[in-house]
Structure 1
Amino acid sequence: MNLPNKLTILRVIMIPFFVLFLLLEGGTNVTYRWIAAAIFVIASFTDMLDGMIARKYGLVTNFGKFMDPLADKLLVCSGLICFTALNQLSAWIVIVIISREFIISGFRLVASDNGVVIAASQWGKFKTVSQMVMSVLLIVNIPLLSPVTAVFIWLATILTIVSLVDYIVKNYKVLTEGSM
């Protein structure tokens, strides 16, 4: 197993620890929140790192193509669900974000069955960054940063919708014609 795939597996292993520290003592312990934030940031960093290494050294594998995006979705979605449980994020926002991920994953599966690879768009990358920043802000939960957190919640939600629409518009032929 190559290094990028090990980093992906490490990210998946980190998720339960992230959730544990985020939810310990009902999410009220500041120390545990900072530990959760550190785990989330490190896990997010492994996402960037495994992709860079895989592309630079030609270590792209089918396992990595499948597991890397899945690990990302598991990390972000587990955080979103926790934020709802902690009353920091409205359920409808979580539903919008998770629904987008399912829809895009479905598109990718259909495209893959037709031999088409759909690359991530710039909107998708902006969406991911905004969701990561939003998540860190929600994890650390600093009252002074509440206005910034609110901006990132709305930004992440809007970019989630924009990236979904962009994705569908650019790739609808995968569903209607079976190819692009």
Structure 2
Amino acid sequence: MTKGPGAPAATRPTPAAVPPEPGLWNIANVLTMFRLLLVPVFVALLFADGGHDPKWRAFAWAAFAVAMITDVFDGALARSKGLITDFGRIADPIADKAIMGAGLIGLSILGDLPWWVTAVILARELGITLMRFWVIRYAVIPASRGGKLKTLTQGIAVGMYVLVLTGPLATGRAVMMAIAVVLTVGTGLDYVVQAIRLRREGIARERRGE
């Protein structure tokens, strides 16, 4: 059957347009870069005038708090505005671990935080990062609620140790750090269990040819 001159021509479905990759200089990445730049500033303020001056420690706390706040905002902006980039995936966790590691190591050098606490937290963070690479071929280990709560308590505890606190507040920061350590170890073990399970499932799928 032939179509008349006024009949619409057959159309082919057009493939969905692939959104372009966000540029490097977006607000989420700028916040991540800013957090990275805050690390040496924070360290300089923490050790200023011998490292025990309450005034300089307050400035160091302010730099640490800003870094923690930008950590919340850059991730939220990247997800909500479609600004996730390869740079952000790499730089964001590096910035997180850099500011937290600087705080823990700096406080231990100054004698304010036991080295075993720093060692436990940093060993867990490094171990989980390596664990993610171990299973990345098969699956991505999602961030759990416990992991997010761990990050929050670590940030609060380290921030309290950065400030020069006495009396009940000093006791309170020790309790907060103890909670952070428990969550650090607990969530770390949970990630290990997930990683082993995901790797086994991935290997089984490969053997079945899926």
Given the two structures, how large is their TM-score scaled by the length of structure 2?
Answer: 0.81
CA distance in 1, matches of 2:80, 2:32: 16
Contact preservation (8 Å) 1:134, 1:152 = yes
Find the counterpart in structure 2 of residue 170 from structure 1: 194
Q: What letter corresponds to residue 73 of structure 1 in structure 2?
A: K
Q: What letter corresponds to residue 69 of structure 2 in structure 1?
A: F
Deviation larger for 131-140 or 166-175? 166-175
Is 1:30 matched with 2:31? no
Where does 1:23-172 land on structure 2 (aligned, <5 Å)? 23-112=47-136, 114-144=137-167, 145-172=169-196
**How many angstroms does 1:175 deviate by?**
4.8
Given the two structures, how large is their TM-score scaled by the length of structure 1?
Answer: 0.94
Task: State the Cα RMSD in Å.
Answer: 1.5
SS at match of 2:83: coil
Find the counterpart in structure 1 of residue 7 from structure 2: none
Contact preservation (8 Å) 2:132, 2:195 = no
Find the counterpart in structure 1 of residue 3 from structure 2: none
**How many angstroms does 1:88 deviate by?**
1.0
Taking structure 1 as reference, are residues 143 and 177 closer, same or farther at Cα in structure 2, changes over 3 Å only? same
Contact preservation (8 Å) 1:79, 1:135 = yes
CA distance in 2, matches of 1:147, 1:100: 25
Unmatched runs of 5 consecutive residues or more in structure 1: none
Q: What letter corresponds to residue 131 of structure 1 in structure 2?
A: Q
CA distance in 2, matches of 1:23, 1:159: 28
CA distance in 2, matches of 1:88, 1:34: 15
User: Which structure's CA Rg is the greater one?
Assistant: 2
**How many angstroms does 1:115 deviate by?**
5.0
Unmatched runs of 5 consecutive residues or more in structure 2: 1-23, 206-210
CA distance in 1, matches of 2:196, 2:117: 24
Q: What letter corresponds to residue 149 of structure 2 in structure 1?
A: F
Contact preservation (8 Å) 2:153, 2:179 = yes
